[in-house]
Homo-oligomer: A and B are copies of this chain.
Amino acid sequence: MRKQLMTFLLCCGALIVSAQQPADYVNPFIGTSNYGTTNPGAICPQGMMSVTPFNVMGSKSNKFDKDSQWWSTPYSADNNFFTGYAHVNLSGVGCPELGSLLLMPTAGELNVDYHEYGSGYKDEVAHPGYYSNLLTKYNIKTEATASMRTGLTRFTFPKGQGNILLNLGEGLTNETGATVRMVSDTEIEGSKLLGTFCYNPQAVFPIYFVMKVSKAPKQAGYWKKQREMKGVEADWDIYSGKYKLYTKYNREMSGDDIGVWFTYDTDENEVIEVKMGVSFVSIENARLNMNTEQPDFNFDKVRATAGQMWNDDLSRVQVEGGTQDDKTIFYTAMYHLLIHPNIIQDVNGEYPMMESLKVGHTTGNRYTVFSLWDTYRNVSTLMTLLYPEKQLDIIRTMIDMYKESGWLPKWELYGRETLTMEGDPSIPYIVDAYMRGLRDYDIETAYEGMRKGATTPGEFNLLHPDNNDYMSKGYVPLREQYDNSVSHALEYYIADWNLSLLANALGKKEDAKLFRERAMGYKHYYSKEYGTLRPILPDGTFYSPFDPKQGENFEPSPGFHEGNAWNYTFYVPHDIMGLAKLMGGPKKFVDRLQMVFDKGYYDMANEPDIAYPYLFSYFKGEAWRTQKLVRELLGKYYHNAPNGLPGNDDTGTMSTWAIFSMMGFYPACPGDLDYVLTSPTFNKVTIRLDKKFYPKGELVIESAHQTPDDIYIKEVTAGGKKLKGYTISQQELVNAGTLRFTLDSKK
Query: Interface of A with B (CB < 8 Å)?
Result: 67-70, 96, 174, 176-179, 191-193, 196, 199, 201-202, 204-206, 224, 226-227, 229-233, 236-239, 244, 246-258, 355, 357
CB of A256, distance to nearest CB on chain B (Å) = 4
Once bound together, how far apart are the Cα atoms of A667 and B732, in whole Å? Answer: 105
A239 CB, min distance to chain B CBs, angstroms: 6
A288 to B: closest C-beta gap in Å? 18
State A191–B68 Cα separation when bound (angstroms). 34
> How many Å lie between the Cα of A67 and that of B239 in the bound state?
15
With A67-B230, A229-B174: A255-B252 Cβ-Cβ less than 8 Å: no
Report the Cα distance A176→B177, complex, angstroms: 12
The listed residue (B191, B232, B236) touching A252 by CB distance below 8 A is B191
The answer to whether A254 and B251 have CB atoms under 8 Å apart is no
Q: Is the CB of B176 within 8 A of A206?
A: no
Please report the C-alpha to C-alpha distance between residue A195 and residue B229 in the assembled complex, in whole angstroms. Answer: 16
Q: A68-B232, A70-B232, A232-B70 are in contact. Are A201 and B244 (CB under 8 A)?
A: yes
On whether the beta carbons of A254 and B202 are closer than 8 Å, the reply is no
CA–CA, A254 and B176, complex, Å: 8
Q: Is B179 a contact of A251 with CB atoms below 8 Å?
A: no
Residues of B within 8 A of A258 (CB): 177
Known contacts A177-B224, A179-B254; is A239 also within 8 Å of B69 by CB?
Answer: no
Cβ B233 vs Cβ A67 within 8 A: yes
Contacts A67-B231, A199-B236, A232-B68; is A176 near B252 (CB within 8 Å)? no
Known: A237-B174, A255-B176. A202 touches B247 (CB 8 A): yes
A254 / chain B contacts, CB cutoff of 8 Å: 177-179, 191-193, 254-255
Note all chain B residues with C-beta closer than 8 A to A357: 249-251
Known: A176-B224, A224-B176, A232-B68. A204 touches B255 (CB 8 A): no
Partner of A253, one of B193, B239, B252: B193
A355: nearest chain-B partner, CB-CB: B248
- In the bound complex, CA of A256 to CA of B229 (Å): 13
Which residue of B201, B244, B250 is within 8 Å of A239 (Cβ)? B201
Pair A176/B227 contact, Cβ less than 8 Å: yes
Evaluate contact between A204 and B246: CB separation under 8 angstroms.
Answer: yes
Residues of B with C-beta under 8 A to A191: 179, 251-252, 254
Q: How far is the CB of A261 from chain B (nearest CB, A)?
A: 14
Question: 8 extra interchain contacts, Cβ-Cβ under 8 A, other than A176-B224, A255-B256?
Answer: A67-B230, A67-B233, A70-B232, A191-B252, A199-B236, A202-B246, A204-B249, A255-B255
What are 8 residue pairs bridging A and B, where the CB atoms are less than 8 Å apart in the complex? A70-B232, A96-B233, A176-B227, A179-B191, A201-B237, A206-B251, A250-B357, A256-B257
Nearest-neighbour CB distance to chain B for A8, whole angstroms, equals 36
How far, in whole Å, are A253 and B357 apart by their CA atoms in the complex? Answer: 14
Nearest residue, chain B, Cβ from A244: B201
Q: Which 6 A-B residue pairs are closest in the complex by CB-CB distance?
A: A177-B255, A179-B179, A177-B254, A179-B254, A256-B256, A254-B254
Copies of the chain in the assembly = 2
| A346 CB to nearest B CB, Å | 15
CB distance from A366 to the nearest CB of B (A): 17
Bound CA span A239–B174, Å: 11
Contacts of A67 in B (CB 8 A): 229-231, 233
Alpha-carbon gap, A226 to B174, bound state (A): 9
Measured in the bound complex, the distance between the Cα atoms of B258 and A99 in whole Å is 23
Closest chain B CB from A273 CB (angstroms): 27
Q: Which residues of B contact A249 (CB under 8 A)?
A: 202, 204-205, 357
A705 to B745, CA, bound (A): 126
> Measured between alpha carbons, how far is A68 from B199 in the docked complex, in Å?
35
How close is A238's CB to chain B, nearest CB, in angstroms?
8
In the complex, what residues of B have CB within 8 A of residue A205's CB?
A: 249, 251
- With both chains docked as a complex, state the minimum distance between the C-beta of A245 and any C-beta of chain B, in angstroms: 8
Chain B: minimal CB distance from A209 (Å): 12
Whether A233 contacts B355 by the Cβ 8 Å rule is no
In the complex, which residues of chain B have a beta carbon less than 8 angstroms from the beta carbon of A201? Answer: 237-239, 244
Give every chain B residue within 8 A of A176 (Cβ-Cβ): 224, 226-227, 255
Please, which residues of chain B bring their CB within 8 A of the CB of A192?
254
- Which chain B residues lie closer than 8 Å to A252 at the CB level? 179, 191, 193, 206
Q: Which residues of B contact A248 (CB under 8 A)?
A: 202, 355
Interface centre among A177, A201, A205 (most CB of B within 10 A): A177
Q: How far is the CB of A178 from chain B (nearest CB, A)?
A: 5
List, in ascending order, chain B residues with CB within 8 A of A229's CB: 67, 174
Q: Tell me whether B237 and A199 are in contact (CB under 8 A).
A: yes
Give chain B nearest CB distance to A421 CB in angstroms: 16
Given A251-B206, A256-B256, the answer on whether A233 and B70 have CB atoms closer than 8 Å is yes
Give complex CA distance A432, B256 in Å. 48
Bound-state CA distance A258–B177 (Å) is 9
Q: Chain B contacts of A237 at CB under 8 A?
A: 174, 196, 199, 201
Q: Residue of B at shortest CB range from A250?
A: B357
Nearest to A281 among chain B residues (CB) is B251
Bound complex: CA of A190 vs CA of B67, how far in Å?
A: 31
Bound-state CA distance A247–B70 (Å) is 26
CB nearest to A176 among chain B residues: B227
A439 to chain B, nearest CB (A): 34
How close is A173's CB to chain B, nearest CB, in angstroms? 11
Instruction: Please name all residues of chain B whose beta carbon is closer than 8 Å to the beta carbon of A206 when the two chains form the complex.
Output: 251-252
* Bound-state Cα–Cα, A202 to B196, Å: 34
Alpha-carbon distance A67/B240, docked complex (angstroms): 12
Residue of B nearest to A177 (CB): B255
User: How far is B301's CA from A596's CA once the two chains are assembled, in angstroms?
Assistant: 81
CA distance A248 to B356 in the complex (A): 8
Which chain B residues border A196 with CB–CB below 8 Å?
237
Residue of B nearest to A251 (CB): B206
How many whole Å from A71's CB to the nearest CB in chain B? 8
Task: With both chains docked as a complex, state the minimum distance between the C-beta of A202 and any C-beta of chain B, in angstroms.
Answer: 5
Give the nearest-CB partner of A70 in chain B: B232
Report chain B residues within 8 Å CB of A232: 68-70
Contact between chains at A233 and B177 (CB < 8 Å): no
Q: Which residues of B contact A247 (CB under 8 A)?
A: 202
Give the residues in chain B near A236, CB-CB below 8 Å: 70, 199
* Residue among A67, A250, A357 facing the most chain B CB atoms (10 A cut-off): A67
A250 to B252, CA, bound (A): 20
Contact B256 A227 (CB under 8 A): yes
- Chain B residues near A224: list those with CB within 8 A: 176-177
Report how far A148 CA is from B205 CA in the complex, Å.
37
Residue of B nearest to A227 (CB): B176
CA distance A740 to B397 in the complex (A): 88
| Nearest neighbor of A248 in chain B, beta-carbon distance | B202
CA distance A227 to B225 in the complex (A): 12
CB distance from A275 to the nearest CB of B (A): 22
Of listed A201, A230, A244, A252, residue having the most chain B CB within 10 A: A252
A368 to chain B, nearest CB (A): 16
Expressed in whole angstroms, the Cα–Cα distance for A742 and B608 within the complex equals 104
Q: Once the chains are docked, how many angstroms separate the CA of A202 from the CA of B254?
A: 15
